[in-house]
Structure 1
């Protein structure tokens, strides 16, 4: 046992282990983590989808929707067209008369949200079809927004939802209530309704619901603004903050659509050939939506409340009509009607490669965990190194008069005494050793904590600035941000520190920062894998920030790298490059930084989006501390003689 303890202590003092090996280990973790991600589309790492909940029985019933209901659909669509220029209240008055005439209980709800100097207000309309064979303890929701995420009049979806509700009313097989919700848009209205349904709303902004049913078991939203026939359906499943519905719901809809002769698409991959490239594109598009955490449709507001939901969009030019889409919705509702409890047996954490292939969390999670682990490895290494002096030993050759005597003390504190004329030629060879020193953790720890608290400032500013001022405010912040590491390094680093103290200060500063970053990202990876992997990859250069004294040119070059990968620079790139893709998906539009920040502020206030919190209170403070470490923490040491040999 004593021998083992001695070996461990020897390893702790091994310079090769503490200086050479850890950076390479961290680099290997980053490379393996990224390479792991690109292996996922292969057959050896992905799996075929399957139905875990046998009670669903998707596609096992005959759908009767069609026939004369198509004439009713045309009549309702004519009514919707007549209301396209009417106000929200006028639209709801007309729809309420229609739903009341069918024999449903109708409720209305007002709401008002404020974000970035803009006001979002409206009135939701919803109707409840009470189950003939139920006791109002469970419900299924059908959502048909007046306008979809792209701001288009959702005319065909509204008409189809009215026809389906009328059709469902004629059947006595329902064991769960069916709720039809018609919000004025897909962003604010449905969020207000879902919050109020679960009594999680702000009474000053959202009115309570006059009517309620039981626990929500599932929800299906329709996005169908166009006329004419379609080729297949596009399933949108991404939720707020990267949350996903139970995979059984998606698999059920795919199975039902196949039974109706319809294909299904994911992540806007209209021509998926099931090749490696197409699988990778589908996966990466899903990761982009998950990492941003924004709402991708009316269904997204349900998922944070553990209500599995999707949006169905007809796409392409084919021979399927609105009755075919209605049969898909009917089959989905009848499958959900069979459930004895909420969906729970399948996966809630997954990456879809295609409609029939996915990767579970146990397979993809190591990718983000390896990237996060590299920060922890380096943090522990720096903590160990900070407890030992790394000063170079002094020259060991000393000459004294022939009639004198001198004593030379080496780094191991052993005295070598030389007398007489031989002293002029006496030499001693010493090697560099580690000497334990006391750690002063209060200053670096306080600086790291202060930087993380400082992250609340940009979070507050960008969430409360009017939308028309966001772009100039962001430009000003980016300019200040480039200078901030220099200011912090000069103002908060004491100039009286010795060379060893300055080195220890940088080591502890970097150690605490990387330790927090690794801890945050490893925790975030279990909740939002894509966001954790994205931030971990962009922050990877912080692992290799030099803590020893470096040449000015090297520090300037490293600061340039950090500035290119800083949060403001990445936000600018996302606003200009990724906004086009987001606008195609209907989630965001425009390409300006101001618009992107306005969307983030809207998500923060309305959807409970935590991506801005992670960016400004986790990633940005780590970047700021990395800049301070790279700059070296100030001027030269005031005690250059520390660590030299003493001559007695």
Structure 2
């Protein structure tokens, strides 16, 4: 067998190589197909959503009858009365009353003192959980926050596991909603102090929300998991020598020997439930809002939501609600699309009844609005409630906000409301108590389309894969085309210079990404300017970013980065685009590991311009309808991909706002870094540099 036949046999044995060569050679056509398929797959996600189900059989929600009695409700109502009648009194008195009620149930009662932390931007806080701390000059007794904690030890437990109930409470407001949430938690806490089947310790945290609900819960969790010894004692001795706050709170409990000094702990937290009652009433029916999104797209185990959904709907008759983008409900094109999918589903079922495709148009519109909300809030990386503090410690937690149908000023309505809310909470605690281990059976990566439907990671990753697939194909195609441009008379020196030309493009991309890092670090200095407004900070940030980019552009255009001092080569932009698309592919792939929702939304904005960008000069020279249309699309896509413009578009679509102030963008960015959102890193280090490189290619002087 000759050498030629051997080579042919090798090629026949590697069909994957042939497929790769075919896709690269037809990268433009493949890109169009993949983008269209990705958009269609995104629009099909509400149709492909599955019904939720209880994965862990040991949970058994609703298997036991409720033991919560009217006596427990009466005691809880008495607590609500005592708290609401303390208007204009000292906040310490309300916390003292809560501690007395806890101690009356033979619970271990402690008070945790904490100081609110300032949300200041610091680059290293994206990678560490170090305590920010507050200098002693900023500490005073008036800024002291006090969490009230009650612990019930399980009669059938070994102290290694616990369930946490959280009720945010602002003692300075004494609102009826917060008092009712305390009443619901107290009714269940009272019941659990008497039952004999409890296998996990119960911790009731009354979080002092004067400085924010999340801040109070986070302070308690930090002390629970990462105690800092002697620091609080030092603070108290230096700043609060003359304060009798602790004495006022603990005096009666010390006498009864029911107060425990120091910080008390239970076992490993199996789950946490945050209970809130909305101040405004829903005039249609009692409803329950579930908030599940935590920092950087983290979600609790789906079984925890399934338990609440099942018990609330089938046992207590509550209407479950999750966040949705209300503005999408009015889009006619979305309703038309739902009608089309519904018709296709009917045709499919007429052909084969087992083909369960298609949902009603109204359900599709609501599912899309809920899916968009779930994707948006996961991408933001900002917790939607105080439960987010638990997810930072890998503890499954959700926030339950109950909205009453009518005003609860009447005693009969209030008793019924506390009874239903307490029985719901009791059922959830019973199910979690049945588990011998943490939640692990169900999904952790999912998007909700309704309280009872979800899209798993195996489904919603398909649009993202289709979006990023063309990037390496286009990069390889451009690199091959640049390599083929070598003429037969090319010498070895010219080939070497062409190799360095590709390296120069990679160097440009690297330097521009370093510029993105500089832009991301500028707010660290700008936020320290005295008496600065958000608008002024945003303007100064933009000017400094543009000035530094111009300097880099002049440096990159110097002979240091060029193969020769002559005019730029005609195909230099192709090499730069090849490296840019590769960088975008790597950045989006890495971001999908950190926060998939951010990568999904970011891909929708940056990938079209990365694939279509071409120098305007070439399109202008061609002077054809197609090239002019492509140039127009590039300009529009370049404008849309600019981060402030993309923010405005998302704000208009998702938040339904009419006006916009440039200071709002600074406030949004400030909220991202305050919550250590990975979206901030993506915008500064991945999205902005790729956009700048695309604009550079668009105006390339080829």
TM-score (norm 1): 0.79
Task: Indicate the residue corresponding to 1:361 in structure 2.
Answer: 457
Task: Indicate the residue corresponding to 1:238 in structure 2.
Answer: 293
Structure 2 contact 615–698 (Cα < 8 Å) conserved: yes
Task: Indicate the residue corresponding to 1:108 in structure 2.
Answer: 112
Task: Indicate the residue corresponding to 1:174 in structure 2.
Answer: 198
Task: Indicate the residue corresponding to 1:404 in structure 2.
Answer: none
Task: Indicate the residue corresponding to 1:309 in structure 2.
Answer: 397
Task: Indicate the residue corresponding to 1:449 in structure 2.
Answer: 510
Structure 2 contact 537–666 (Cα < 8 Å) conserved: no
Distance 2:52 2:230 in 1: 42
Task: Indicate the residue corresponding to 2:54 in structure 1.
Answer: 51
Distance 1:202 1:269 in 2: 46
- SS of corresponding position for 1:113: coil
- SS of corresponding position for 1:321: helix
- SS of corresponding position for 1:68: helix
Cα RMSD of the aligned pairs, angstroms, is 4.1
CA shift at 1:580, angstroms? 5.6
Distance 2:218 2:420 in 1: 29
Alpha-carbon spacing, 1:269–1:524, altered in 2? closer, same or farther (3 Å): closer
Deviations 1:2-26 (A, max 9, x none): 23678999x999xx97997213322
Task: Indicate the residue corresponding to 2:75 in structure 1.
Answer: 72
Q: Does 1:474 align with 2:538?
A: yes
Alpha-carbon spacing, 1:158–1:24, altered in 2? closer, same or farther (3 Å): same
Q: Aligned match of 1:194 in 213, 221, 232?
A: 221
Distance 1:291 1:84 in 2: 41
Task: Indicate the residue corresponding to 2:340 in structure 1.
Answer: none
Task: Indicate the residue corresponding to 2:303 in structure 1.
Answer: 248
Alpha-carbon spacing, 1:283–1:210, altered in 2? closer, same or farther (3 Å): same
Q: Does 1:570 align with 2:666?
A: no
Q: Does 1:613 align with 2:674?
A: no
Distance 1:296 1:236 in 2: 6
Task: Indicate the residue corresponding to 1:223 in structure 2.
Answer: 276
CA shift at 1:510, angstroms? 2.4
Structure 1 contact 485–628 (Cα < 8 Å) conserved: no
Q: Aligned match of 1:30 in 35, 38, 55?
A: 35
- SS of corresponding position for 1:342: coil
Distance 1:204 1:372 in 2: 49
Task: Indicate the residue corresponding to 2:7 in structure 1.
Answer: 2
Q: What aligned pairs does 1:471-620 form with structure 2 within 5 A after superposition?
A: 471-478=535-542, 488-494=552-558, 502-540=569-607, 541-546=609-614, 550=618, 558-559=634-635, 561-574=637-650, 578-579=654-655, 593-595=662-664, 597-598=666-667, 600-605=669-674, 607-620=675-688
Using the TM superposition, name which of 137-146 and 119-128 deviates more. 119-128
Distance 1:202 1:556 in 2: 63
CA shift at 1:151, angstroms? 12
Distance 2:479 2:656 in 1: 44
- Flag the structure with higher strand content: 1
Task: Indicate the residue corresponding to 2:317 in structure 1.
Answer: 261
Q: What aligned pairs does 1:305-454 form with structure 2 within 5 A after superposition?
A: 305-315=393-403, 317=405, 321-389=417-485, 411=488, 437-454=498-515
Structure 2 contact 111–146 (Cα < 8 Å) conserved: no
Structure 1 contact 482–563 (Cα < 8 Å) conserved: no
Distance 2:511 2:63 in 1: 60
CA shift at 1:273, angstroms? 9.1
CA shift at 1:89, angstroms? 5.1
Structure 2 contact 273–397 (Cα < 8 Å) conserved: yes
Distance 2:23 2:281 in 1: 68
Alpha-carbon spacing, 1:281–1:579, altered in 2? closer, same or farther (3 Å): closer
Structure 1 contact 368–522 (Cα < 8 Å) conserved: no
CA shift at 1:33, angstroms? 1.1
Distance 1:334 1:8 in 2: 60
Q: Aligned match of 1:291 in 374, 379, 390?
A: 379
Deviations 1:401-436 (A, max 9, x none): xxxxxxxxxx589xxxxxxxxxxxxxxxxxxxx999
Alpha-carbon spacing, 1:444–1:412, altered in 2? closer, same or farther (3 Å): closer
Distance 1:156 1:166 in 2: 15
Distance 2:679 2:484 in 1: 39
- SS of corresponding position for 2:601: helix
CA shift at 1:488, angstroms? 4.2
- SS of corresponding position for 1:181: strand
- SS of corresponding position for 2:618: coil
Runs of 5+ consecutive residues of structure 2 not aligned to the other structure: 1-5, 122-133, 236-260, 330-359, 407-412, 622-627
Distance 1:476 1:549 in 2: 32
Using the TM superposition, name which of 198-207 and 556-565 deviates more. 198-207
Structure 2 contact 161–268 (Cα < 8 Å) conserved: yes
CA shift at 1:501, angstroms? 6.1
Distance 2:42 2:450 in 1: 16
Distance 2:679 2:649 in 1: 16
Q: Aligned match of 1:146 in 169, 172, 175?
A: 169
Distance 1:249 1:519 in 2: 34
Runs of 5+ consecutive residues of structure 1 not aligned to the other structure: 392-410, 414-433, 582-589, 637-648
Alpha-carbon spacing, 1:74–1:591, altered in 2? closer, same or farther (3 Å): farther
TM-score (norm 2): 0.73
- SS of corresponding position for 2:499: coil
Distance 2:188 2:453 in 1: 31
Alpha-carbon spacing, 1:491–1:137, altered in 2? closer, same or farther (3 Å): same
- SS of corresponding position for 1:171: coil
Deviations 1:23-71 (A, max 9, x none): 33223222211210111222xx222211110000001111121312222
Distance 1:60 1:74 in 2: 28
CA shift at 1:384, angstroms? 2.6
Distance 2:324 2:279 in 1: 17
Structure 1 contact 279–354 (Cα < 8 Å) conserved: yes
Task: Indicate the residue corresponding to 1:427 in structure 2.
Answer: none
